[in-house]
Amino acid sequence: MKTCVIKTEKLTKVYQLPAEQIQAVRDIDLEINAGDFIAIMGPSGSGKTTLLDSLGCLGKVTSGSLKVMGKEVSQAHERTLVSMRREFISFVFQDFLLIPTLTAAENVELPLYFARKPYNREKTIEVLKKVGLGHRVNHLPKELSGGEKQRVAIARALATSPKILFADEPTGNLDTKSSQQIFDLFRKLNKDDGLTLVVTTHNPALGALAGRIIYLKDGKIVSREESSLYA
Amino acid sequence: MKVLAIAFKNLRRKKIRSSLTIGGVAVAVAVLVSLFGFDAGYQRGLDNDIDKLGYHLLVTAKGCPYEAATLMLKGGGGLRYMEEDIYRKIIADPRIDKITPQLVSSVYNQEGAEGRGAFSLYMGIEKSYIELKPWSKFKSGGWFSGSDVDEAIMGYEAAEVEQRSAGDKIFVAGINKVLTVTGIFERTGTQDDGILFIPLATAQRIFELPNKLTGIGIKLKDIRTIAAFEEDLFNVPGIQVVSLAQVRGTILNLVSSARAMASSVALIAIFIAVIGVTNTILMSVFERTREIGVMKALGASSVDIFKVIWTETILICVFGGAAGVLLAVLGSNLVEHIIRQALPYAPAGRLVFIKPIFLVVSFISTVVMGLVAGTYPALRASLMKPIEAIRSGE
């Protein structure tokens, strides 16, 4: 039996702007099991990123229930969210968001440092090798190509051995070839290592890799489908 | 990798901006150290000058107390004269240990100060003068051959400047006299070094001031009788009594305006530096909003972010403080020169006296200043919400 890593009930997130309220996501019921590869798709402004941020414990939700690794975190204090992020969760962003002053290796070690977990350069290099960047250990982000930067970001996300990896449009800024490398990497991480992946994307090819695709429109889930390719 | 490394690398990102901010802090610290140094140096110099006066009291003709104070220390100024009779009356007082009459006159010498013209100071003295100043020793030569002879004893610096030795003849330009140098005093570190001493009677004769004095230096047997002694002299017409404590107070009053000015400059410099540091760091925080959001997404707590930003501020202040301390030490000669030009009276010896404790205190205050300056930017950064921060640039 698969372990449930994320479970939401009527998850709703409202942004309060000066003039209006925006219901970014509404009444989301979702269950994600360990080892799932889920793609969240939908038009721009449909709430994909908000849903990803909420599931990833980046902020409080407005209402509904959100359980991550069995813990109710929908109204949790920031301190709890920090420890959830340290323990179980990792992020990859569309524009990589590496720290420009730190080398590839230092970027990878950063989450370990914040999580007060031990790190050493050998292990860091291993992780970088895993994403195919064993030769870029001491390079600064500005010395890397877009695809390489994103692979450093993935290595950074893997450093803490998370349970769930969230990726927000991970190939949105990459060319086809680099995107393909990221796809392959994700597939490998999911298949071989059993890492749970939750990815937002506009890219149907990436969506097709996922075991399950959730379509959002105006903050609501409009359809769910099991990917045929995945099987 | 530590907070320190993250902070340091970030400061290196904008080298010019960081350097300018560090420079601002350095200048503020240098001003602060110099000010402390000046305060200490001036008081030390003044105390030293007063100690080396040798007397407790100076009796002068009635006049401006500032003049009297200047006269007492410098031997110059706009001079007033009193009758020598007063000296003869006071000398019998049993409370007096030593007493010496003096007549100071200044002569304008067109050739002095490398052709720019300068005043030479002449002081008519009697043998009692060096009894009051036992540290005044002859480097060469000796005392005058008589009580009214055309002879002079030169202060160390006066002889040095004019390249004279005992036996030489010197020409007193303003009054067309030639004096023979009978001796040269050793360096005393006081204003005496720049004075030409002549016999009192000679001074009265050549400056055409018969039976006149400018001052009477008095050393009492018991310093505790000074108040009563002053009180008695208060009733003698035409004179005033200036005591050491008064002179010290008067001089410190004279420089207090300069000190107040310097203090406000230092305060303003520090204030500007603090604002500069806060501004720089705040700017850098806003520029890095997304990075800060990412660090939070990667597991950094608010405290972690606060530490990173605070460390940056402290680093700026540590570098600025160190540079400022160095600047103050290296620049102390320049500061000394500028202050000397600006002050009405500057004691002999070093004016800017930088004690190691000043460096330590200034450095520590700078770091404390960094803590204060960094608090707001660090707080702003630490309170950023990860989602809003990360999505802010999109």
Residue A152 is part of a domain; what is its CATH number?
3.40.50.300
Sign of CA dihedral B33, B34, B39, B43: positive
pLDDT at B106: 78
Whether residue A231 is predicted with pLDDT greater than 50 in this model: the reply is no
CA distances from A111 to B103, B180, B340 (A): 84, 88, 59
B299 closest CB neighbour out of A97, A101, A111: A111
Q: A183-229, pLDDT tens digit by residue?
A: 999 999 999 999 999 999 998 888 888 989 999 999 999 988 876 54
CB-CB under 8 Å, A160 with B1: no
pLDDT, mean of residues B179-184? 90
C-alpha to C-alpha distance for A174 and B34, rounded to whole angstroms: 58
- Bridge partners, A37 (sequence order): A197
Q: Where does the pLDDT of residue B342 fall: very low under 50, low under 70, confident under 90, or very high at 90 and above?
A: confident
pLDDT at B79: 67
Whether residue B174 is predicted with pLDDT greater than 50 in this model: the reply is yes
Q: Where does the pLDDT of residue A23 fall: very low under 50, low under 70, confident under 90, or very high at 90 and above?
A: confident
pLDDT at B340: 80
- Comparing C-alpha atoms, which of B101, B2, B121, B115 is closest to residue B60? B101
Residue spans of beta strands (DSSP E) within A34-96 = 37-41, 63-68, 71-72, 89-92
List, as ranges, residues 166-225 from A with C-beta within 8 Å of B.
none
Structurally, chain A folds into a number of domains equal to 1
Domain with A192, as residue range(s), is 34-63+71-226
pLDDT at B73: 60
Q: Is A90 within a domain? A: yes
Among chain B residues, the shortest Cα distance to A81 is held by B299
CB-CB under 8 Å, B387 with A53: yes
Question: Which pair of tokens denotes residue B92?
Answer: 């019998």
Q: Which of A102-106, B160-164, B188-192, B298-302 has the lowest mean pLDDT?
A: B188-192
Q: Which of B40-44, B106-110, B273-277, B362-366 has the lowest mean pLDDT?
A: B106-110
Count of beta carbons in the 10 Å neighbourhood of residue A209: 22
Sequence-distant (≥ 6) Cβ neighbours of residue A57 within 8 angstroms: A68, A73, A76, A81, A84, A85, A89
**ipTM for the whole complex:** 0.91
B386 closest CB neighbour out of A59, A86, A160: A59
Q: Where does the pLDDT of residue B166 fall: very low under 50, low under 70, confident under 90, or very high at 90 and above?
A: confident
The whole-chain average pLDDT of chain B stands at 84
pLDDT at A68: 94
Q: A147-197, pLDDT tens digit by residue?
A: 999 999 999 999 999 999 999 999 988 999 999 999 999 999 999 999 999
Q: Is A24 within a domain? A: no
Q: What is the dihedral of CA B136, B138, B139, B142, to 10 degrees?
A: 160
In chain A, which residues have their Cβ closer than 8 Å to the Cβ of B390?
58, 93, 97
Q: Which helix (H) or strand (E) holds B119?
A: strand B118-125
Whether residue B74 is predicted with pLDDT greater than 60 in this model: the reply is no
Q: Is A231 within a domain? A: no
C-alpha to C-alpha distance for B20 and B22, rounded to whole angstroms: 5
More confidently predicted of B161 and B373: B373
Question: Which pair of tokens denotes residue B57?
Answer: 């009291």
pLDDT at B66: 61
Q: Is A10 within a domain? A: no
Count of beta carbons in the 10 Å neighbourhood of residue B132: 18
pLDDT at A230: 46
C-alpha to C-alpha distance for B74 and B268, rounded to whole angstroms: 34
CB-CB under 8 Å, A49 with B301: no
A101 closest CB neighbour out of B9, B296, B299: B9
CA distances from B260 to B39, B222, B280 (A): 11, 36, 30
Do B207 and B175 contact (CB within 8 A), yes or no?
yes
CB-CB under 8 Å, B301 with A79: yes
Q: Is A3 within a domain? A: no
pLDDT at B160: 85
Q: Is A125 within a domain? A: yes
Q: Is A109 within a domain? A: yes
CA distances from A137 to A125, B6, B195 (A): 7, 17, 75
pLDDT at B112: 60
pLDDT at B70: 62
pTM over 0.90: no
Count of beta carbons in the 10 Å neighbourhood of residue B350: 16
Residue spans of beta strands (DSSP E) within A89-146 = 89-92
Q: Is A192 within a domain? A: yes
Averaging pLDDT over each range in A12-16, A64-68, B142-146, which range is the top one?
Answer: A64-68
The whole-chain average pLDDT of chain A stands at 91
pLDDT at B103: 87
Sequence-distant (≥ 6) Cβ neighbours of residue A102 within 8 angstroms: A110, A140, A141, B1, B6, B9
- Bridge partners, B100 (sequence order): B217
CB-CB under 8 Å, B301 with A82: yes
More confidently predicted of A156 and B347: A156
pLDDT over 90 percentage in chain B: 26
pLDDT at A167: 95
